[in-house]
Amino acid sequence: MKTIRFALIGSGYISDYHARGLMTVPNTEIVAVVSKNLDNAKKFAKKYNIERAYSTIAEVVVDGNIDAVVISTPNVFHAPYAIQFLESGKDVFIEKPMAMDEAEGLLLQGVAAKTGHLVMVGHMWRFDADTQYVKENIDSGKLGKIIKTKSYGIHENWGPEGWFTKKELAGGGALADMGVHAIDTVRYLLGDPKPVKVYARIATHFGDYDVDDSGIIVITWDNGTESIIESGWWQSHMDGPEASSGIYGTKGYASLFPTFLKLKTGVEESEIITPKLPEREDHCAQIIYTEQMEYFVDCIRTRTTPVPGLLEGQSVMRIVDAAYESSRTGKVVDL
């Protein structure tokens, strides 16, 4: 079996998860790492026994022996780097969000269609066992018709620093950082419906930066379900950890993180079902990222369009753009 040769673009916190994941996948090899700070690239390369360390993507772009890249950079570089790699014949994995806005995402989609190479977007909660359990029970009809959902992308008493808090590098704040997890997770749980309306109130309350740290978004999907999404940094309380969701159906309720079902059994009576799922060492466990990389490698080998990919990533971008517009105008945005 051919060895798939990877380059990691970025050497920050999330790149460790991707490196550890790739190292467990048979017949894959990480051959290069890129960081704007060459010393950081060299340290990362030494840590994972990676052959080459670079300070720019130029050497990776022209290297015909590299099959695929994993982009884990500030958001402003996601689409531009991906386009260069696609045009040089490489398959691309991009951390979320896939671009700075919907227009940039459309440009990336066009290049991918022209080159025929693959793009996967890092909405990793789709690979989580708890998330899949809840989805299976929704799909089975056990909860009945889904009326509404509530999902969270919140940091309690904490928020990031650096490029995350600079609009020119991140595109947005807590919504672009945390809210996108909640949006894609609930969309996955509902079977990837299309958004038709978005209303949002987004603000900055906790920091001296030009991005948002608080947000409430209401999404109407084409299946009639309404979803409430909360995003935030430095919040005084969170109703659940990252991507936690409540799914309200006509026959019952499902909770994701903590994960359980609450099914109607009679008037004012319900049955609580708590599944036996793998224990979590951390909320964002390594196994999610490992399975995500295993799937991406399989897509490369079989030339299968990844899901989540461009369509899923672009749907999230449309919602984020609409949310910022709605908050600015005070009006519902029709999609």
Q: How far apart are CA 228 and CA 246, in angstroms?
A: 10
Nearest to 231 by CA among 212, 255, 250: 212
Q: Provide the mean pLDDT of the chain.
A: 97
Q: Per residue in 1-11, is it b (16+ CB within 10 Å) or e — as a string?
A: eeebbbbbbbb
pLDDT the model gives residue 138:
98
Residue 85 has pLDDT above 90, yes or no: yes
Of 3.40.50.1000, 1.10.760.10, 3.30.360.10, 3.40.50.1820, the CATH number of 126-280+316-334 is 3.30.360.10
Name every residue whose Cβ is closer than 8 Å to that of residue 45 and which is 6 or more positions away in sequence. Answer: 33, 51, 52, 53
Whether the predicted pLDDT of 25 surpasses 90: yes
Asked if 137 and 143 count as a contact pair (C-beta separation under 8 A), the reply is yes
Cβ contact 34:5 at 8 Å = no
Q: Could you tell me how many residues make up the chain?
A: 335
CATH architecture of 4-122+287-306: 3-Layer(aba) Sandwich (3.40)
pTM above 0.75, yes or no: yes
Q: List, in order, residues 6 or more apart from 224 with CB less than 8 Å away.
A: none
Question: Could you tell me which residues are beta bridge partners of residue 93?
Answer: 70, 120
H helix or E strand, kind and range, residue 197? strand 195-203
- Backbone φ, ψ for residue 199 (5° rounding): -130, 140
User: Rg (Cα) of the chain, in Å, rounded?
Assistant: 20
Distance CA 302, CA 287 (A): 22
What is the reported pLDDT for 1? 86
Domain ranges of the chain: 4-122+287-306, 126-280+316-334
Cα–chain-centroid distance for residue 165? Answer: 18
Task: Determine the residue type at 29.
Answer: E
Strands 214-221 and 252-256: unpaired
Q: Label residue 281 by pLDDT band (50, 70, 90).
A: confident
Mean pLDDT within 61-69: 98
Nearest to 298 by CA among 17, 96, 93: 93
Contact 143, 254 (CB under 8 A): yes
Arithmetic mean of pLDDT, 273-289: 95
Residue 6 has pLDDT above 90, yes or no: yes
Task: Average the pLDDT over 180-191 and give the result.
Answer: 98
